[in-house]
Structure 1
Amino acid sequence: MGANYRESRLNYQMITQDDALKAACDAARGAPAIALDTEFVRTRTYYPQLGLIQMYDGDSVVLIDPLSITDWTPFRDLLLDVAVTKYLHAGSEDLEVFLNTFGVLPEPLIDTQILAAFCGRPMSWGFAAMVEEYTGIALDKSESRTDWLARPLTERQCDYAAADVWYLLPIAHKLMAETEASGWLPAALDECRLMQQRRREVVPPSEAWRDISNAWQLRTRQLACLQLLADWRLRKARERDLAVNFVVREEHLWSVARYMPGSMGELDSLGLSGSEIRFHGKTLLGLVSTAQALPEDALPEPLLNLMDMPGYRKAFKEIKALVQDVSKEKGVSAELLASRRQINQLLNAHWGLKASNGVPEMLAGWRGDMMAGKLNTLLDAYPRQG
């Protein structure tokens, strides 16, 4: 890339007022594409705390200070303007920030990490590695873990943040051309849509118990107790904007469901912290009491552990082998075709072990086009449960 990349300092505008934000967003809506990035902090909170938004429209780099903006309408309108393509790199967490802060996701969205994966780069190719390959420049990443909520932001923080979008946009155009030339662009865009779809899926509190480690070890009444406890904890976490383990630690929640204590002293003997008992002890004991009073017909079915299913290891191995064959045949990495999570999602759905949102990812979209028929034939050898 050109010599303009080698400026020692990037020019950018710091936006702290609503009228400046509107002007920047109006200008960006005249561009065919923009690069976006966010900086946020998430230590004890349930939701990420937005510290900065970076945007580059090919003309101007702007840094938007969210702590001083009150009217986000122009930015929301820009995010939803389908005439402007939005590029991010490894943008899953950025999408969470946009969804929680503005209630919308960027449309249309293209993730350069996904484009790169379809062009033979590693699945989790970092931004700095990408910039170095395309420009020969080694970015200083020392600011990545600094406090983005502190004010004033330092010059180093602002330079670091501006560089993220300054390099991203021209590299995105190159990756688009490479992906198109390889014939994988439709699949890559499909994968970007899938990333957005995953981000939109919000766990209902009533289903939170299914994600607790070792829930499958519990009997039905203990599971009913865990269901009540996990529902309460997730609601409390969202209501107070507190990470779930800062409400009650997961292993403590499981212990309460397993032993169903009847007193504060028993909670203490299970290893709960003083603050957990002080703030939530009465609530936890009340939920245990509710679970103990449930009639038998109100108890959930026992959870089956996927790894313990007869045929799991064999089925997993056969699916991996099929994926390797398709990978060689189609010239796309096996890692991109199917992750362990996706194989387990497929088997969970096939055996009816977990409620799923729609079709398993390996049977849908571009993966389904390549593998659905072969996978369904393979799965026929492993009968469904019940």
Structure 2
Amino acid sequence: MKTISNTSDLAEFCAEAARHDYVTVDTEFLRERTYYSKLCLVQLAYRGAKGEEHAVLVDPLVKDLSLEPLYDLFRDEGVVKVFHAARQDLEIFYVDAGVIPTPLFDTQVAAMVCGYGDQVGYETLVRKIAKASLDKSSRFTDWSRRPLTDAQSSYALADVTHLRDIYEVLSAELAKSGRKKWVSEEMDVLNDPATYRIDPQDAWLRVKTRTNSGRFLAIVRELAQFRENHAQSNNVPRNRVFKDDALIELASTKPQTEKDLSRSRLLLREARKGAIADGILTAVKAGLAVPGDELPKPDRSREKLQVNPAIADMLRVLLKAKADQEGVAQKLIASAQDLDVMAAGGRDLAALKGWRKEVFGKDALKLCEGRVALAVDGAKVVTVSR
């Protein structure tokens, strides 16, 4: 197996890969101790013989190695970039260089479209499509340590060598079924830079609270924004600044001084003084100073929904019937929450747009409006016009 540790070798490999119609890509990274993922390894392979031929490991931890040749390959629209469950890999490349590989193909999404199940894992596809097995012993190793063991290298390369077979089979199935456009629609989200941006001002929306007081939420908002900014600027996990339960406690107790912080039950010891303590006290003060007419309001739109349980149940039956008929994972079409919103009259849903509308949405709307009924035809559930 070949490990690339200099820019010229990477450029040579990428130039050769650019002569082919696709390249498979995977990464190994660490994120336990940092806010941003630390890229530790990149695996690449292009069409060729089975095994490790035409596949390489790229060591981004080598001091003088530049990944620019790889990014040039990512920008080459004549080469499909194939990943499995690409979200975290793409975030790394976007944060590092502002690059999103295009055109993009995610085999996890494609497998869901082709009926392999909900969020099917790579190991399952290797077994079902490539007719091989994976040695999982290196899955949770420290990828930042050097040198890599032979087991680590073999494990890492397998993530892109088998991916070639998986891509070719899934791509052929999509072409046969006419569903390539379905996968392309799903790739639009992964190709959108907004998918990988985290705005500290919106960080509070991820904090689960049971209190709907505007003043309380204002303090939560300021604390969450400070935590996100501090975590990003210091490249530490947000939970290393303070955890959500401590944030909720702080929003409730509204500390004014470091002595107040010392009474916290949940705040980490290192957060009770210094820059974090100053940030907490400033955030609490800012939250208390928000004018009454500018206080954040909880999203109660879902609370106001009057879900008709009978319609929701019929939509679930319809969804299963359509998913089985089309051989598509149910969760890829619509979630249980989507069905509840639809049963309550909501219409601004992905399930009612694009390919989902054709497969499920049109009949779902007709069902909600009483224009079709459900009936049993042998072992199948079908719609009947009224």
TM range (shorter): 0.7 to 0.9
Deviates most, 136-145 or 342-351: 342-351
- Residue 200 (1) aligns with residue 188 (2): no
Aligned to 1:43: 32
Shift of 1:209: 0.9
1:222 alignment partner AA: F
**Structure 2 unmatched ranges of 5 or more:** 49-53, 371-386
Q: Of 311, 323, 330, which aligns to 1:327?
A: 323
Total equivalences in the alignment: 361
Aligned to 2:59: 65
Q: Of 245, 253, 267, which aligns to 2:247?
A: 253
- Residue 237 (1) aligns with residue 226 (2): no
Aligned to 1:186: 181
Shift of 1:379: 7.7
Deviates most, 21-30 or 202-211: 202-211
Shift of 1:71: 2.5
Aligned to 2:379: none
Aligned to 2:157: 162
Q: How does 1:217-228 map to 2 (within 5 A)?
A: 217-228=211-222
Distance in 2 separating the partners of 1:146 and 1:322 = 44
- Residue 142 (1) aligns with residue 137 (2): yes
From the superposition, tell whether residues 63 and 100 of structure 1 become closer, same or farther in structure 2 (CA, over 3 Å): same
- Residue 289 (1) aligns with residue 263 (2): no
Aligned to 1:16: 5
Shift of 1:187: 1.0
Distance in 1 separating the partners of 2:5 and 2:340 = 46
Aligned to 1:366: 355
From the superposition, tell whether residues 226 and 316 of structure 1 become closer, same or farther in structure 2 (CA, over 3 Å): farther
Distance in 1 separating the partners of 2:202 and 2:159 = 37
From the superposition, tell whether residues 288 and 17 of structure 1 become closer, same or farther in structure 2 (CA, over 3 Å): same
2:278 alignment partner AA: K
Distance in 1 separating the partners of 2:59 and 2:103 = 24
Secondary structure, aligned partner of 1:75: helix
Are the equivalent residues in 2 in contact too, given 1:346–1:361 (CA < 8 A)? no
Identity %: 30
Distance in 2 separating the partners of 1:323 and 1:294 = 46
Secondary structure, aligned partner of 2:191: helix
Write out per-residue CA displacement over residues 329-355 of structure 1, whole angstroms, 9 at most, x where no aligned residue.
54433222113465588899959xxxx
Q: How does 1:43-192 map to 2 (within 5 A)?
A: 43-59=32-48, 60-68=54-62, 69-192=64-187
Write out per-residue CA displacement over residues 41-85 of structure 1, whole angstroms, 9 at most, x where no aligned residue.
110211111010000012411110001154322111100111001
Secondary structure, aligned partner of 1:39: strand
Secondary structure, aligned partner of 1:217: coil
Shift of 1:374: 5.3
From the superposition, tell whether residues 261 and 350 of structure 1 become closer, same or farther in structure 2 (CA, over 3 Å): farther
Distance in 2 separating the partners of 1:250 and 1:197 = 28
From the superposition, tell whether residues 313 and 202 of structure 1 become closer, same or farther in structure 2 (CA, over 3 Å): farther
